[in-house]
Chain A
Amino acid sequence: MGAILVGYALLLVAALSAIAYVLGRTTGARLKPAAGEKIHSLPGYHGAFVAVWVGIPALILVILWAGLQGPVIDRMITASLPAELSSGKSGAEVALLVSEVKNVAAGRMFSEPNPAIVAAAERLNAWESIAGWALLVIVVAIALGSISITRSKLSPRFRARNDVEKTISGLMIACSVVAILTTLGIVVSLVYEASAFFAMVPFHEFLFGLKWEPQIALRADQVAGQGAFGAVPVFVGTLLISAIALVVSVPVGVFTAMYLVEYADERVRAVVKPILEILAGIPTVVFGFFAILVVAPAVREFSMTLGLAASPNSALAAGLVMGIMIIPFVSSLSDDALKAVPRSMRDGSLALGATPAETVVKVLLPAALPGIMGGILLAASRAIGETMIVAMAAGLIATMTINPLDSVTTVTVQIVTLLTGDSEFDSPKTLAAFALGLVLFVVTLTLNIIALRIVRHFREQYE
């Protein structure tokens, strides 16, 4: 009931703002300037000014109300519970009682509830409905008050246009703050869970340990290993697969970009560029199929003809497919970097009698190198963080190896396996995922920062 009323309150705010806009606009249009005066703002700005001052305070109120209503009512319910139910009980048990009250109030009953609980549930419903109606009434009151105040402020010289401008810039700041706060929230939650892990497993053991066997017993009656949380093999696996991916994607991507910039005519470009963009748009899970069904068997058969033993889910197969996936990154960023080299450089080299190939290798490439490096680093951080392909095509066992025909596991695969299925949030097995995630985050963040710095430096060179 309460939640529905909050929804109505939001609709009401929208409707009131619309009415406020119309009222403000009409008032604005009817303003009569004194002799020699000009009306400062167009009627639309007067309308927007009134609407903003109705909408934003009311909206803030609704949001605060929606956030606070639940806890306040919870507290009131707890206080109103008969003493014989709540006395001598811990906080968690009281919370359980409150949630039982809520279930009964919502009509979800599994057994015949205690009459005291039923009474509390009725109180809960009544209070929620009172709170909801109170909200609607207060919203209307605020809106009416705001309309009368703001409309009385409108005058020919009133700078509604400038005020609306300020509000819009405030709105944009608020939106960017949302993104920043979300990032901060993610970091904080990662650090929080990871610190819980490091309370159980020493930091140095995690960072430098050479054995990764997280499958410890969740229940006392399970048969499982002792557990070892040395992350080195997992990171070695990640680096191996990422390195294979870069070995594939960097030459292919950079040469593609060189071809597109220096050799291809318009018709070829018009075909090749969209195809590369399609490659960038393929969902990674589809690349995963491709890795399992095509590349992994091919790698296995090929290595068998060479007399080498390859595991069915080899690092090579996952790395090759990941490399194909990041080709568009490398090629499009290299393409941009090469194209940003001024035409006069190319002309200067060609006019000296250099061939196009000499021009690309000796002049364009060195000049565009910072930009290309930035592209490669961004692609590398993408490869390190990539999950789906490796989750499907790479192995689960953390082998400490750099043999590409062996099966290795990656950080992201381990996070997926540790967090899927039944998991307990006080076991090091589950919390290890957050520690891995934190390290992964730090690594990709560092790579991104370096890449962005290089790219920025490169921009300064030619602008």
Chain B
Amino acid sequence: MTALETSGTGTVPAAGAAAPAAGGALGQPVSDHPRRARLRLWGELALFLGPALALFLTFVVYPVISAARYSLYQWNGVEQFEDADFIGLENYARALFGGTDEATKSAFTTAYAEPFQAAFSHTIGILVLSIVIQLPLGLLIALVLNRRFPGRSAVRVILFAPYVLSEVIAGTMWLIIFDPNGVATELMNAVGLHPPAGGWLEDQTWGFWVVFFIITWKYIGLAVILFLAGLSGVPQELQDAAAIDGASWWQTQWRINIPLIGPTIRIWVFLSLIGSIQLFDMVWVLNQGGTTGQYSTIATYMMQIGFFRNDWGFGSAIAVIMFMLSFVVAVFYVLFVLRRDNSDAPRKVKRA
């Protein structure tokens, strides 16, 4: 398995071989004037990186820092920010355990900490379930679609179609399907079953699962397409060799195809993790996380409390918590999981 996997990343040495050549071009300028060359290098860097960097600083870094600043204040978003009260980390305390003030602690726990915990657990639930359910499902579909059969392209297109639809259109469509008098209810009635008592989305236990079903429907296409792309890179010779050795279809998948698309799977898991933490648009269109927040996510709760309740400081604190969560998960994943895919190339460059 390990041996195969290394050969699976067969393009890596080639890239590594190309890298020293490029590095040499930078380190040993063709020009006779090293200073002018360095100046040119900086000029090129400024020209190509500058605009992107300026946009990144203005629209990503600055808002992140602003949100961190707002999160330390009690601010209603109406008064000028200069008039807002500085309350330190109280907004974070309110979100996490109801605040430090004993007089309001129990009230804040019910009103703020519990809805936040609910939103947090829904987000983590979607994150875990995405890996546990969407990964095997996507893999299975991709493996099946990797075989040749009549109508394969049509099935691929149909599976990928939901991913191309905009979230708002897809969400509205599902709202209509899951309407109390909608298609889903009629189907259930037709087969003699009862739809959930509180309504598909509004039922306290069904709501979350219905939303998870919709999310899976929406995003499984991306997983399948990515895995299919990975599978098309697996050399046919290996499959033929396995077939000659008498391996069954299932053995071929398990021992050759799946290990060889490991890097693709790991990248998909990364995208899925970040996407789950930041999940907003689809859930928002589906009635803003539910009338009682039964399928709220951290992002929809942030929107509700910050934007619609004008509790900007608290909303910013939620935003910072969400940012930290994404950041920690991303750093952890890149350091410990994606490392095996990335680390080879730079090491070889250094050796060269």
Q: Decide whether A and B are members of one complex.
A: no
Binding site for A on B (CB under 8 A): none
